[in-house]
Amino acid sequence: MTKEASVSTDAPNGGLIADAPAPKDAPLTEDAPTGAPQGGPLRAVVVILDGAAGDALEVYGGRTTLEAASTPHLDALAREGVVGLVRNVPSGMEPSSNVACTSIVGYDPADYPIGRGALELAALGVPLEDGQVALRVNLVNVTPAGVMHSYSTDNISSEDGHALGDELKAALDDDTFTLYKGTGFRLYLVVTGHPALMETTFSAAHDIADMPVAEHPPRGPEAQLVRDFEARAKEVLAASPVNRRRIAQGLLPATDVSVFWPGVRPQGMEDFSGRFGRQAALNSGVDLLNGIAQLAGIRRCHFAGVTDGPDNDYAAQGEGALAMLGENDVAFVHVESPDAEGHDGNVEGKRRAIEAIDREIVGRLRSWAAERPLRILALPDHPTPLATKRHTSDPVPFVMAGPGIAPNAAQRLTEAEARSSGLLVDPGHRLLSTLLVHTPLSSRACRGILGRASGRPQAEGPPDLPLDTACPRIPRRGPE
Ligand SMILES: [Zn+2]
């Protein structure tokens, strides 16, 4: 993408960006803005760097991982385009990837409060009936002293995860409980006849890393049901031939299961192509994102080598992104590894993951964009600070560049630059329609896409800020 590709004009309506859903009569395939590279219809790609945002780290001299990482391609996008903050997690909602990524794909998570267990199960194509509750089950390793040592059993392979899942199913499936096998360490539990599980509260396994498990039990009406299930699973795993073989191979055994994230049957989501007038495709190594895609009518594309961990084949995912753009108006590329490294507290691993995304995925997209009109949006879904190893609901930085998007003097995709931009997209689900509409986006356009900077996001409809209101500053939090 060249600088000339950015058309620096204020929108004729004073910078107001059309609200979601984008006009259906303005498909991306028409009217590429003047100055866009020739060579095809205007496309859009969204790169989700899961959990990439975070806090200042001593080991990086007070810089965040995004600041410490070498990201020449994201830097170029920042210089060519707009950097700002986006609130993907509405206030009062859990800062989970299902909430944040539902927002990123253009749907208000408040309208689709789908429990993550149910969402991930949808990715497996398992239908839920009324009255059934679906929960995530992690295969975990707990030390003999009762401390959560690994929420993923060291990112156990799907092969071993499925083998353990078969052992657990054989012992535990009955009229009440049905287990399903997901990716890697992920299993799903469908519980029939206990709807009060939705009022039970749980600690997610990755949120209690290195903590005593007994101090974070499920609480509420069906807590005992879950504790009993976990206790029976522990007995099965203690006698597991798969675990014995893993120990002999020097691999970590799955000592326990951890149950959390209850959800019920998802209500129908409006089809993406109906909502935005665009055909979209998505690639991700995690079930959750595939579940969102499945519910939203977004094509799910699988590419060999794309995983949810540090072994992700970033080059394959980058090539996959180009393949999706060849056949779709919009491509979503979700990369889980920065979040996984954040949960593991792996400082260097998280930096390497961000650098690999920049080099192998964003780099390929920029080369593609040099020949064809392409808008690129790159952003984390939520922060996963290394200090706490758990998600926060803070707004995250985003960068958006491409034809019709004028620069706002940013240099890099970092938390500090985004905060100082004065640009906050809230509610965050409007960011996607901003990416897809034709209206040229300038830094002044933030007036149009701003919701209220605090409080509950507004319902669909034009923001009620007067157009001559200056963009509010984002309050700075504590020391950087
Ligand atoms: Zn996470």
> For residue 36, what pLDDT band results from cuts at 50, 70 and 90?
very low
Ligand 1 centre distance from Cα of residue 387 (Å): 14
298-330: pLDDT as tens digits: 999 999 999 999 999 999 999 999 999 999 999
Ligand 1 centre distance from Cα of residue 52 (Å): 10
Ligand 1 centre distance from Cα of residue 29 (Å): 35
- The neighbourhood of ligand 1, an ion, using CB within 5 A, equals 339
Domains, the chain, with CATH or none: 3-111+271-449 (3.40.720.10), 119-263 (no CATH)
Ligand 1 centre distance from Cα of residue 328 (Å): 28
Task: Give the integer Cα–Cα distance in Å for 362 and 376.
Answer: 9
Ligand 1 centre distance from Cα of residue 121 (Å): 17
Ligand 1 centre distance from Cα of residue 91 (Å): 18
pLDDT over 80 (residue 169):
yes
Ligand 1 centre distance from Cα of residue 3 (Å): 35
Ligand 1 centre distance from Cα of residue 381 (Å): 9
Q: In the structure encoding, which two tokens stand for residue 327, read together?
A: 């056949």
- Give pLDDT, residue 406: 86
pLDDT over 90 (residue 378):
yes
- Give pLDDT, residue 438: 52
> For residue 125, what pLDDT band results from cuts at 50, 70 and 90?
confident
Phi-psi region of 92 (alpha: psi -120 to 50; beta: other; left: phi over 0): left
Ligand 1 centre distance from Cα of residue 338 (Å): 9
CB distance 85 to 477 below 8 Å: no
Overall average pLDDT of the 65-93 stretch = 96
Ligand 1 centre distance from Cα of residue 470 (Å): 35
Q: What residues are paired with 190 via a beta bridge?
A: 134, 178
131-157: pLDDT as tens digits: 899 999 999 999 999 999 999 999 999
220-262: pLDDT as tens digits: 999 999 999 999 999 999 999 999 999 999 999 999 999 999 9
Task: Give the integer Cα–Cα distance in Å for 373 and 388.
Answer: 40
Ligand 1 centre distance from Cα of residue 340 (Å): 6
pTM over 0.85: no
> For residue 39, what pLDDT band results from cuts at 50, 70 and 90?
low
Q: What is the largest CA-CA distance in the chain?
A: 70
Task: Give the integer Cα–Cα distance in Å for 187 and 236.
Answer: 15
